[in-house]
Amino acid sequence: MAIHKQIPNFISLIVVSFFVIASAEVFFEERFDDGWESRWVKSDWKKDDNLAGEWNYTAGKWNGNPNDKGIQTSEDHRFYAISAKFREVNNKGKTLVFQFSVKHEQKLDCGGGYMKLISGDIDQKEFGGDTPYSIMFGPDMCGPSNKKVHAILHYNGTNHLIEKEVPCEIDQLTHVYTFILSPDATFSILIDNVEKRKGSLYTDWALLPPKRIKDPNAKKPADWDDKEYIPDPEDKKPEGYDDIPKEITDPDAKKPEDWDDEEDGEWKAPTIPNPDYKGPWAPKKIKNPAYKGKWKAPKIDNPDFKDDPDLYVYPNLKYVGIELWQVKSGTMFDNILVADDVEYAKKLAEETWGKHKDAEKAAFDEAEKKRKEEPKEEPVVSDAEDDDDSDGTDSDSESKSDTSKDSGEKEKDAHDEL
């Protein structure tokens, strides 16, 4: 009989779980299956300058499923811009979940793997670095010290960077990045379904002036004692302390045998630091019984603070976009999601990245093993090539120097614009 009682409960659990999943509202989901190009618009940004990079549709060099493809940057020293439109979304009263997977196969030294949510109407063929956005989120790396997750929110005409740095993954495998924005103005950042940072829009971004500030008119009371330690009034200087010399004659010094007093003058033994000398005397320190702690101005309500109950709201989200500058190409995006349900996002991550991550790691390890086993080929230069090269050495080196300089400037400019 107990079994019969458990069956209806089990069925109810299935029904409830199905209802929760079914009730999740997906605003945009892209797994880059057949027909993906009809949903995305490649921008002409930088095309006239011959700096617009091409996207490859691929599963990558190493993967957990050759049929699970995404889009990957394919050319070095290029700008990339592509976007997709979805029905207009207002997240007021809803949780907003922005999630995608990214992989840097090129062992990225400097470049981004972030994406943008864009509001209003834009010309997708002109989408680029100057296009306003509402949210920019994802990993960014440049140099040994800058390896972080960007979480930039647009508010009142300004882009605000998160103030607490979140480290990003730096290997060459796929990782899932999730940004969750809740109606109570709290947020959470997940990497591979693990929470890395949580907090509030009020405290982790400078979107609004602080609610409380130090009272500018407050003064430290005259009798406030903020000395934690004081000289011990009972401590007395030892008798004869001031008579101890800093230096003494070296007792081990000997007059050289060849020393001539008439020619060299009277010999004097050198001096050495006196081990008994302890420096100027000072009484020892003791805890101050009247110590009140470090004085701090009391806080008052900030007269410039005006709360915004819609601080978290983006009323007309309409596009998802990728806009990057890459010195080294090879970054791949996949499984992009904009939704209102955290559990659905976690489930999607497990069905895609979670299901294939072990196989991908094994494929990467095998690829690395083969790469290390491959013999390095030494370049063979003929005498004729030497002669030819000597004619154009200066121009070639100048050209390479200019290219390197341009790339470095673009790389710096691209990060400064963030």
**Per the annotation, where are the binding residues?**
114, 116, 133, 140, 323
Give the type of residue at 357: K
CA–CA dist 327, 110 (Å, integer): 7
* DSSP string computed for 287-322: E-TT------PPEEE-TT----TTTT--TTEEEEEE
Give the type of residue at 86: F
Residues 6+ apart with CB under 8 A from 399: none
Distance of CA 282 to CAs 84, 239, 289, 291, 395, Å? 74, 14, 20, 21, 72
Residues 6+ apart with CB under 8 A from 26: 337, 338, 339, 341, 344
CA–CA dist 168, 79 (Å, integer): 22
CA–CA dist 12, 401 (Å, integer): 69
CA–CA dist 345, 255 (Å, integer): 88
Q: Which tokens go with 323?
A: 């806009």
3-state secondary structure of 166: coil
CA–CA dist 157, 416 (Å, integer): 18
Give the type of residue at 25: E
Distance of CA 104 to CAs 54, 126, 170, 240, 244, Å? 16, 26, 8, 73, 69
Q: Which tokens go with 270?
A: 């050198």
- Residue recorded with tokens 């990728």: 322
Under 8 Å between Cβ of 81 and 128: yes
3-state secondary structure of 206: coil
The half-sphere exposure of 187 on its side-chain side, counting CA atoms within 13 A, is 23
Under 8 Å between Cβ of 78 and 115: no
Distance of CA 311 to CAs 134, 151, 187, 212, 270, Å? 12, 15, 12, 18, 77
Q: Which residues are annotated as a binding site for an alpha-D-glucoside?
A: 114, 116, 133, 140, 323
Under 8 Å between Cβ of 83 and 118: yes
Q: Which tokens go with 263?
A: 């020619």
